[in-house]
Structure 1
Amino acid sequence: MSPTERVYSNSKETILDAAHRVAERDGAGKVTIDAVAREAGVSKGGVLYNFPSKEMLLKGMLERKIETSRADMNALREDLKRKGEKNPTLRAMIRSACLKECETDNGVSMAILASAAQNPDLLEPARVLFRQYWADIMTECDDIAGAAVLFAAIDGLVLTSKLGMGMAPYNTDDLDSFIEKFDQFAKGL
């Protein structure tokens, strides 16, 4: 990697870090080029050089979130596979989604949802990832209907946790017990 590429890469990461902080602290509607530039300590032109539009900035946030989630999920899945555990993809998804997604990055997730509402194509990388997870689950699991129920339950739990604002009809302090119950169900499929 050349020094120029390294600076470009680092400045992109700095800008994405700043965008995440703005989303977390101020909410999805406050993720603007100007706000991110101020937070990152770079010029508006510096942000626009790396992300030519707000949509591209949000796309970058989503892509980075997907890659982080994919890495976490794959590490959990590989650990379960090494241990010879049944249904490793579904069980890793339960742990990854519920442990990490339910408890973190609400502002970032809301920024991504807001951008997706304006341009649903931004969610295509997430769609591809979920289709791949589902294909893996179908090859590992004997009870596809049971797996689908768990997959949907996980999605619902993550969504209501992300939306916040009192959307969850249950106490979110009970997430650990939910995760344990989901994992028990997944072991039995």
Structure 2
Amino acid sequence: MDNATRSERSRNAALEAAIRIIARDGPGRLTLDAIARESGLSKGGVMHQFRTKEAVLKALLERQMEHFEEFSTGYMAKVSATSANPNLATQLATVREAATSPNSAALALVAAMVENPGLMMLPREREMKRVAAIKAESADPDLALLRWAAARGLLLSSLFGMSPLSKDEHDRLFARLLDDGQWAGVEQPAKERQTKEQPTKARAAKSGAAPAAKAATPRKRA
């Protein structure tokens, strides 16, 4: 076995050990010593791969991001020619994939963010680009973002053990979020929303102008 292969195996063994520790004991118990004991590597072997706990967490986060990026790329290739909203469909499917992944892997991502909030910049920048793409392709950007946010809510409630929903209910809700046909009847394109909003704004402006004019009128002296 060459050195590069040996090093890659040691790195993967350390990361898998870190995931197990986080899932079993919580992120507070994650140390380089604990990783060495869990993985069977020497402390020096672990430190050859990762100098600090923060480096381990960053590697875990990047590993999960890479996994879901590969999933997103493959899904986008399948739906780009058939879906009216391929970016939204891809992100909904990716969130569903994250929700059904082993909790230990998902917890590793959450733990990385909790232990070092600065690491949140890594996924946040990608999410901003994805949201921009979702809004750009949609006839009703607000509705598209509501569907995206609902999927994220299902994922987070599941990750934190707060969801009262069964697996079947989760599956049905994700399927409905992914089905464009379920939402076509409630879409409001931007021009349509503006047309509906104009009378309301006009009334609000009119009702707001009267008190201002009245207040400007000087009171008569007795």
Fold equivalence (TM over 0.5): yes
Structure 1 residue identity aligned to 2:47: L
Deviates more, 1:33-42 or 1:48-57: 33-42
Counterpart position of 1:168:
163
Give the whole-Å Cα distance in 2 for the aligned partners of 1:105 and 1:15: 18
Counterpart position of 2:138:
141
Structure 2 residue identity aligned to 1:120: P
Q: Deviations over 1:98-127 (max 9, x none)?
A: 1x2112232343343333234211122111
Matched, 1:49 2:87: no
Counterpart position of 2:204:
none
Instruction: Give TM-score, length-normalised by structure 1.
Output: 0.85
Counterpart position of 1:91:
89
Give the secondary structure class of the aligned counterpart of 1:110. helix
Q: Residue 102 of structure 1 is aligned with which of 85, 88, 99? A: 99
The equivalences for 1:4-23 within 5 A come to 4-23=3-22
Instruction: Give TM-score, length-normalised by structure 2.
Output: 0.73
For residue 185 of structure 1, report the CA deviation from its aligned partner: 4.2
Give the whole-Å Cα distance in 1 for the aligned partners of 2:28 and 2:106: 12
RMSD of the TM alignment (CA)? 2.1
8 A contact 2:21–2:29 mirrored in 1: yes
The equivalences for 1:52-71 within 5 A come to 52-71=51-70
8 A contact 1:15–1:40 mirrored in 2: yes
Counterpart position of 2:190:
none
Gaps of 5+ in 2: 188-222
Q: Percent identity?
A: 31
Give the secondary structure class of the aligned counterpart of 2:118. helix
* Structure 1 consecutive aligned stretches of length 4 or more whose deviation exceeds 4 Å: none
How many positions carry a matched residue from both structures? 183
Give the secondary structure class of the aligned counterpart of 1:102. helix
Q: Deviations over 1:29-55 (max 9, x none)?
A: 333322222222211221122111111
The equivalences for 1:21-40 within 5 A come to 21-40=20-39
Matched, 1:119 2:116: yes
Q: Deviations over 1:69-119 (max 9, x none)?
A: 11111111111014x222112112212211x21122323433433332342
